[in-house]
Amino acid sequence: MFKKFLIFAVLVLACIDASAQTNKVAREFLQSANTHLRANEYEAAAADYKKVIELEPNNADALFYLIASLNSINPYSDPTEYWDRIIEVAPHYKLIYIVYMQRANYRARIGKFDESISDVNKALEFTPDDGSLYHLRGYSYIMKGNLEAAHADYNKSVELKTRLQNPLLTRGYLLRMRRDFAGAVTDYTMAIDWNPNDSIAYVDRGTVYVMMGQIDQGLADIRKGMQLDQVSVAERAIEGFGCPFCSLNVYVIGYPMDARVYEARGILRILQKQESDARSEFDRSLSIAPELKPEIERVKKEILSWN
């Protein structure tokens, strides 16, 4: 009997020694990976984190920082399997809210808006006062067409003083969609107060002024935005969510007989150096409101004088 116990004890000790050795090797790889990550050596860091995970599949730190390394190597990588594993094996991990936030951001980017909203809701259980989460969820609500829920989330993001321009710019967009131009101007002005070099905020506010018929103020803002960052304004006027021109495209769907919106789009087309399209926009404006002809002629001359 004693002999059997002795054999068992030896086997247990052997297992403990093997486990201790595995832990020691894993710690060494983890230290090496962290060193590489701090030095921005992302591929080497990722390789070492993967070695840690081979030895300790449930090491939440290795999984979390492997994701960071992979994202640094390729911002469009899909580390879903690692997010899923952290959530499964370490639901109370110290950075679990970031895991949910990152997965929510990725899911929104690939069009899985319901899943993204679900992840944001989980993250908010841990950090209910993180304004960036409301901003992220608001984006998904917009893409689902739920503008009321989106507006509530952007309100919350601004209330929490999220020092990003996007919540204010997007809330301004939502207010403009409601034809609450004064409210939109207030948000764009706040965005400029937060960041006086935000070229898009100036262009967005300028286009709203144009739509309000306050042409001189509108042109002054648009010109200021171009002076701050002409390339950014021109590119964002072409494509992408939240860009000045694209948001006007959406507005046109709701208010196709608003002559001022075509005037604003014509201005942006001139800035894009798309003269033919600009003429079409101005012609559309004049077909609805012929009395705008002297004003539009003056606008075209002024903008062309900027170059």
> How high is the pLDDT of residue 7?
42
> How high is the pLDDT of residue 22?
53
> How high is the pLDDT of residue 243?
57
pLDDT tens, per residue, the chain with 307 residues: 434 433 433 333 343 333 444 578 888 888 888 898 888 899 998 998 999 899 888 898 889 899 888 888 887 788 899 999 999 999 999 999 999 999 999 999 888 999 999 999 999 999 999 999 999 999 899 888 898 898 899 889 888 888 766 788 888 888 898 899 999 999 999 989 988 998 888 989 999 999 999 999 999 999 998 888 766 665 554 444 445 566 788 788 889 999 999 999 999 888 878 889 999 999 999 999 999 999 999 999 998 888 6
Question: Are the C-beta atoms of 163 and 194 separated by less than 8 Å?
Answer: yes
208-211 CB contacts, 8 Å cutoff, 24+ apart: 208/172, 208/176, 208/181, 208/184, 209/185, 210/260, 210/263, 210/264, 210/267, 211/176, 211/181, 211/258, 211/260, 211/261, 211/264
> How high is the pLDDT of residue 195?
87
Ramachandran quadrant class, 214 (left: phi over 0; alpha: psi -120 to 50; beta: rest): beta
Question: Are the C-beta atoms of 150 and 174 separated by less than 8 Å?
Answer: yes
Q: What residues contact residue 223 under an 8 Å CB cut-off, 6+ apart?
A: 206, 306
Q: Domains of the chain, with CATH numbers?
A: 180-307 (1.25.40)
Tell me the two tokens of residue 12: 């247990």
Its pTM stands at: 0.71
> How high is the pLDDT of residue 246?
66
Q: How is residue 165 annotated by DSSP?
A: S
Alpha-carbon dihedral of residues 295, 297, 299, 304, nearest 10 degrees? -170
189: number of Cβ within 10 Å: 15
Burial label for 7, CB within 10 Å (0-12, 13-18, 19+), is exposed
> How high is the pLDDT of residue 259?
95
Burial label for 3, CB within 10 Å (0-12, 13-18, 19+), is exposed
Ramachandran quadrant class, 145 (left: phi over 0; alpha: psi -120 to 50; beta: rest): left
> How high is the pLDDT of residue 234?
56
Q: How is residue 178 annotated by DSSP?
A: T
> How high is the pLDDT of residue 165?
62
DSSP string, 220-254: HHHHHHHHH-HHHHHHHTTSSTT-HHHHHHHHHHH
> How high is the pLDDT of residue 231?
63
> How high is the pLDDT of residue 4?
40
What phi, psi does 35 have (nearest 5°)? -65, -45
